[in-house]
Amino acid sequence: MQQVKAVIARAKGAPVELVTINVPAPGPGEAVVKIQSCGVCHTDLHYREGGINDEFPFLLGHEAAGIVEAVGPDVTDVAPGDFVVLNWRAVCGSCRACKRGEPQYCFATFNATQKMTLEDGTELSPALGIGAFAEKTLVAAGQCTKVDPEARPAAVGLLGCGVMAGIGAAINTGGATRGRSVAVIGCGGVGVAAIAGAALAGSSPVIAVDIDPKKLERAAAMGATHTVDSSQTDPVEEIKRICAETYDGAEGADIVVEAVGRPETWKQAFYARDLAGTVVLVGVPTPDMTVPEIPLIDVFGRGGALKSSWYGDCLPSRDFPMLVDLYRQGRLDLDAFVSEEIGIGDIEAAFEKMHRGEVLRSVVVL
């Protein structure tokens, strides 16, 4: 066991606190990772506000990169000294999805078995099973994915959550590729990553939709060919018009990614896609929201697919090293997601900047 500094949310709505925590030595299947960087994500704020569950105190932070310090006795995939990006879906290898060769849909992903605690022994709930606003954290060894050690931690750590969710929503779930049009509704960190993913896959046009002009500027810099301010223009009509300009006869986009998580924007996505197109819901709705009323004949008549995307349907062991290599080759600008590097004491200020829409990601660097 060792003691390290970490940021926790002690009670619903209370400001986060920098405290000392106890990190156990890794047991079977576990690893202790020395954290180098961790992005500040909306989900951390949701935890702090009690929007995820009531298992306070939370150890926040989950978009992290670092160096493996120690591993449990039976761990063979990673070793001390490895540079890793942490993921929140360590696949089990034995559920139905894993057995049929689709581990990206694993139904039984897991985290460390032992608990990190406060100094008085109170057990902590690590955000998304990671908890990386900490000098060191304890995870399941399967949550550590080895990547190119030359890569900048603050940039590649972001693959651990929102950036992977967005890129994967466009490419893995939506099937973005050359010759297909992509529209993305909501251009925060996740939506902009979907835009970068669509551009990386060679899709065109790539249409960014948001109600905030600042977000649209950033989306254009990340590969959007067109931008639509949906506070001013009907996004459905505008997406249809832009797609018909590029592809004769197109009645919308081949893939529409909804990255807000609201019924009205999902409905826009539904009607903005071409016949046989795909809607991808990557935005997370709240439990009170329902599917908007849509005539069933419209669902039938348009064909295609209405999908949702968890973590971009990624398989960390396949996708993280590949995306880090593309980043190192200059083909995927992960640095552009890092708006600022901050200290571990600056997380409350980063939440406020996030709230005001000023940053894509503030990243804690340790």
Ligand X SMILES: NC(=O)c1ccc[n+]([C@@H]2O[C@H](COP(=O)([O-])OP(=O)(O)OC[C@H]3O[C@@H](n4cnc5c(N)ncnc54)[C@H](O)[C@@H]3O)[C@@H](O)[C@H]2O)c1
d(CA 24, CA 45): 26
Q: What does DSSP say about strands 182-185 and 206-210: parallel, antiparallel, or unpaired? A: parallel
- 311 touches ligand X (CB under 6 A): yes
CB of 191 to ligand X, least distance (A): 5
The token duo for 100 is 């049929």
d(CA 168, CA 109): 18
Residues 255/194, Cβ–Cβ less than 8 Å: no
Binding at 266: pick from ligand X, Zn ion, none (beta carbon under 5-8 Å per type): none
| Among residues 16, 98, 139, 255, the one that binds Zn ion under rule CB under 5 A | 98
Q: Which stretch binds ligand X (CB under 6 A): 9-17, 125-133, 184-192, 244-252?
A: 184-192
- 321 touches ligand X (CB under 6 A): no
DSSP string for residues in 201-241? TT-S-EEEEES-HHHHHHHHHTT-SEEEETTTS-HHHHHHH
Residues 137/280, Cβ–Cβ less than 8 Å: no
DSSP one-letter code for 26: P
In the complex with ligand X, which residue's Cβ is closer, 74 or 352?
352
Q: Total residues at the site for Zn ion (CB under 5 A)? A: 9
In the complex with ligand X, which residue's Cβ is closer, 24 or 263?
263
Binding at 95: pick from Zn ion, ligand X, none (beta carbon under 5-8 Å per type): Zn ion
Residues 86/127, Cβ–Cβ less than 8 Å: no
Q: Which stretch binds Zn ion (CB under 5 A): 42-50, 186-194, 303-311, 328-336?
A: 42-50
d(CA 72, CA 61): 23
Residues 7/134, Cβ–Cβ less than 8 Å: yes
What residues between 110 and 169 interact with ligand X by CB under 6 A? 161-162, 165
List the one residue out of 95, 89, 102 whose CA is nearest residue 62. Answer: 89
In the complex with Zn ion, which residue's Cβ is closer, 63 or 82?
63
What residues between 4 and 43 interact with ligand X by CB under 6 A? 42
At 45, the amino acid letter reads L
| Among residues 22, 109, 145, 265, the one that binds ligand X under rule CB under 6 A | 265
Q: Total residues at the site for ligand X (CB under 6 A)? A: 27
| Among residues 230, 278, 339, 362, the one that binds ligand X under rule CB under 6 A | 230
- Length of the chain as a residue count: 366
CB of 311 to ligand X, least distance (A): 4
Element (H, E) at 324: helix 316-328
| Among residues 210, 238, 313, 319, the one that binds ligand X under rule CB under 6 A | 210
Residue with tokens 């649209």: 216
Shortest Cβ contact with ligand X: which residue?
A: 188
Q: Is the peptide bond before 321 cis (omega within 30 degrees of 0)?
A: no
d(CA 109, CA 115): 17
In the complex with ligand X, which residue's Cβ is closer, 50 or 261?
261
Binding at 98: pick from Zn ion, ligand X, none (beta carbon under 5-8 Å per type): Zn ion
- 263 touches ligand X (CB under 6 A): no
The token duo for 77 is 């995939």
In the complex with ligand X, which residue's Cβ is closer, 171 or 185?
185
| Among residues 62, 136, 152, 215, the one that binds ligand X under rule CB under 6 A | 215
Decide: helix, strand or coil at residue 70. Answer: strand
Binding at 215: pick from ligand X, Zn ion, none (beta carbon under 5-8 Å per type): ligand X
Residues 34/66, Cβ–Cβ less than 8 Å: yes
Binding at 92: pick from ligand X, Zn ion, none (beta carbon under 5-8 Å per type): Zn ion
List the one residue out of 27, 43, 32, 10 whose CA is nearest residue 80. Answer: 32
Contact positions toward ligand X, by CB under 6 A?
42, 161-162, 165, 185-191, 209-212, 215, 230, 259-261, 265, 282-284, 309-311
Contact positions toward Zn ion, by CB under 5 A?
41, 43, 92, 95, 98, 106, 108, 161-162
